[in-house]
Structures are given as structure tokens and as C-alpha cells.
Structure 1
């Protein structure tokens, strides 16, 4: 397993956490006009989908709180929430802990064939843990960009 991939994981996640550090709790819960989700949803979605792509598809147990599926799975949004979402601090802790778990798990499982191929919403199929792991970088980057756009829209609407 190439340490460059683990370094890239750390780089991507540090970018995410850095963006998180510039957001207030108030901003994180606002859904500006033109968006269907808020910053908390996007951060939770990153964690939830990463867990699915790396661990669940490999037959491992999801180690995130059970509420994350109802709060952050694809197709959910804050207007449907019936419980309090995690705080930014809680999300930061989950994302940090998840990074460490992935760093321990992925080297021994990168080349593992999935029991059943996974096809995402775009119709792209994956057969190996490494493939879903690499795709997760793209997924996280898309949501980090969305977080930046939401933050900008929230600040524009406040002024």
C-alpha cells in the first residue's frame, strides 16, 4: 500500500477540517436560498458516505452514531430532521477519528474485492475497496466546495 494514498487522505481531510474551522455553529445550520442542505448536513454526509464507501462495502460495521443514516444519507435534508444533528465539534471529532480508522484499515484491504459490486448514483461501478476509497476523495471534494458556496451565500444573505 502506497503511503502516498494515506498522505492524500490526510490532505483531503485536513482541507475539510480547515473549512470547518472557519464556520460558526450558527452559519452551519442555515440553509441559504438556492441550496437544499446546510453545512452540517454536508459535513455529516461526508462522514456517512466515507464510512459506507470504505467500511460498509467491505463488510465492516459502520462505527458512526446510528442517527447519521437518517440525518445524512443521500436524499435527506435538514427540513426532514426529527432530532438534533451533531455539533460542529462532534463532526470534527467523528471526521478525525474516521481518518485514523481508515489509515489502519485501508492498507490491508485496498486490493480486497467487494462481495458485490457497488454502483453509485452516476452509474459508476466499483469492484474493489481501493476503488471506493479513491472515489471518496472526489466525493469529499465536491461537498467541501458546496460548503464553501453555502458559507459565501450565508454571509451574503446576512449583509
Structure 2
């Protein structure tokens, strides 16, 4: 459970940032960017649920629609409909709490090894949680950069 304090703090920072922004700001895709804050938020939730839950053989808190909208290689430019931003905010909180609770009760026992598209090998649950922290930090940086741009307008 070494990942929990960093995971929890990172998610708290993301929550603080998104709670200072309007829905319009979350959805704005500035020139020079391939996505927006809402996409980054949904993406980090979908990837975390896939890496931790799906690869452990457990049900995720995300729906297929989330996977279609926020998986690697997707873009807000291709969304058939605007995602429910209140639901994304709620999922950020719920997935954080649920993951911490499930880790405490050792639910992640049957992890299926996985190799990411960026060639990181994740043979164990512990490796997946370490990679997830790295991945979420990258998107936290993107969220901060996007926040600075959307606030400046």
C-alpha cells in the first residue's frame, strides 16, 4: 500500500484544480493542445480503472462510454456528446476512495501482467500502481498547463 499517500494526494490536487474551473473551461481545447482538462480527467480515471481493476479481474467503476471517450488515442474532437462533468468529478472521488479501500482489504490478488503501449512491463499489481502514479503525474502536469491557458482567456 505504499502507493496510497501519493495517489490520494495527487487526486486531491487534481480535485482542487478542477473545482476552481467552470464547465466551459474544463471543456475548452486551446490552440496547440490535442485535448482538454475534461479529457485528461476522464483519461486518468479510465486508465487507472483498467490498469488496477480490469487487470486484476475486478469490475470497474467506469462504463464502456467512458472507455470510448477517454482511452489512449481518443480526442474531445471525436466526442459524439459532451461527457457528464459532474459524473467525472464524482468518479474522481469514488475511484480514489474505492481503490484505497480495496487495497486495504487486499482485493488485488490476481493481477494479469501487462505491457503498456509505451513499452512499460507491468508484471505485478505493485508495478501497475507505480506506473499509474507516473501516468497520473503526467496528466496532472497537462491539467495544470491547460488550466493556465484556459484561465488566461
| TM-score (normalizing by structure 2) | 0.91
Are the equivalent residues in 2 in contact too, given 1:29–1:40 (CA < 8 A)? yes
Pairing partner for 1:92 from 89, 92, 96: 89
**How far apart, CA to CA, are the structure 1 residues paired with 2:23 and 2:3?**
32
Report what 1:36 is aligned to.
Answer: 34
| Higher share of residues assigned strand | 1
Task: Work out whether residues 46 and 140 of structure 1, in 8 Å CA contact, stay in contact via their aligned partners in 2.
Answer: yes
Q: Pairwise CA RMSD of aligned residues?
A: 1.6
TM-score by length of 1: 0.88
How far the C-alpha of 1:92 sits from its partner, in A, is 1.6
Contact 1:42/1:147 (<8 A) preserved: yes
- Residue of structure 2 in register with 1:142 after alignment: 138
1:113 and 1:134 mapped to 2: Cα distance?
A: 17
* Residue 128 (structure 1) aligns with: 124
Cα distance in 2 for residues equivalent to 1:132 and 1:28: 28
CA contact (8 A) 2:57 2:110 kept: no
Aligned length: 152
Task: Give the gaps of 5 or more residues in structure 2.
Answer: none
